[in-house]
Amino acid sequence: MQYRRLGGLRVGAVGLGAMPLSIEGRPDEARAVTTVHAALDAGVTLLDTADSYTLPGAGPGHNELLLARALASYGGDTSGVLVATKGGRGRPADGSWTVNGDPAHLKAAAKASLRRLGVEAIGLYQLHKPDPDVPFTESVGALRELLDEGVIRLAGLSNVDVDQIRVAREILGDRLVSVQNRYSPAVRAGEPELRLCAELGLAFLPWSPLGGISRSALDGPSGVPGAEGCAEGVFHAVGRERGVSPQRVALAWLLAKSPVVIPIPGASRPETIRDSAGAADLELTEPELARLDAGLPPSA
């Protein structure tokens, strides 16, 4: 496993998006825990979760509790593992994803996440999504208070734009260390945010990084090769030539975009995260990268 910087920390260049282990279609707990252990065995040290990763109407925290149990039962050293969680979204019984950026809610949610994770302080806490009904500065102000209180060690943002990143940077300073936006072969609207993160030295954590190659857990079960359109053609072709999966090629393509990129692919099976982790050691050539870029679909 190769490593990258997140704030002052050193983490594996590929993380684990743990959401599929807790939402609709999730595996049983034994397989979920085995998947987390396989990630750790492969050198993954960034585990991404959120209080809202649970079944609709079930209440918050399933995924956080699952990760806490998986880490506690792991036989190896977990001192270098960074659990990044998020607050500010919910899963009501209708299956939707609500948004609540009220400062009081965020502070209470962070303290509840702290208890579920069983840690002295949350390593990285991220605002899951700006709330259009709450001034953004107030939501970010809650992160600053959590930092000052020692509830969280580092702060991040998710689903934000360039202006919001700049505003948060003014409020949080160098304690803002990451931005988690959607970015993949099929969805590249986050390029301005990626460029700003590279400029500011913030880690950029693409969620749903295999869009155009596999279906997101938000969209349902993973698709089969050839089901998602023209991006799959070139990524599959390069994968066949290199003797690896198109998913591994896609993650290596992301890693080549910038040294601040740390993709967090989801997984619900041990073999999936092992394959994804291998992308950290797959160095694509300049001709291969140019070929992949040329074969991308129109950006969403």
pLDDT by residue (tens digit) across 158-204?
A: 999 999 999 999 999 999 999 999 999 999 999 999 999 999 999 99
* CA 16/CA 42 separation, integer angstroms: 11
Out of 95-99, 214-218, 293-297, give the one with best mean pLDDT.
Answer: 95-99
Residue 207 carries which DSSP code? B
pLDDT at residue 299, rounded to an integer: 67
Q: What is the mean pLDDT of the chain?
A: 93
Which tens digits make up the pLDDT trace of 124-169? Answer: 999 999 999 999 999 999 999 999 999 999 999 999 999 999 999 9
Enumerate the active-site residues: 53
pLDDT at residue 222, rounded to an integer: 37
Q: Specify the 3-state DSSP secondary structure of 205.
A: coil
Bridge partners of 127?
87, 157
Residue 261 carries which DSSP code? B
Phi, psi of 145 (to 5 degrees): -65, -40
pLDDT at residue 213, rounded to an integer: 85
pTM of the complete model: 0.92
pLDDT at residue 298, rounded to an integer: 72
H runs (alpha helix) in the chain: 29-41, 62-73, 103-117, 136-149, 162-172, 191-200, 230-242, 246-257, 270-277, 286-294
Cα 283 to its chain centre, rounded Å, is 22
pLDDT at residue 219, rounded to an integer: 46
% of the chain surpassing 70 pLDDT = 93
* CA 204/CA 171 separation, integer angstroms: 19
| Helix pair 246-257, 270-277: axis angle to 10 deg | 40
Phi, psi of 131 (to 5 degrees): -95, 120
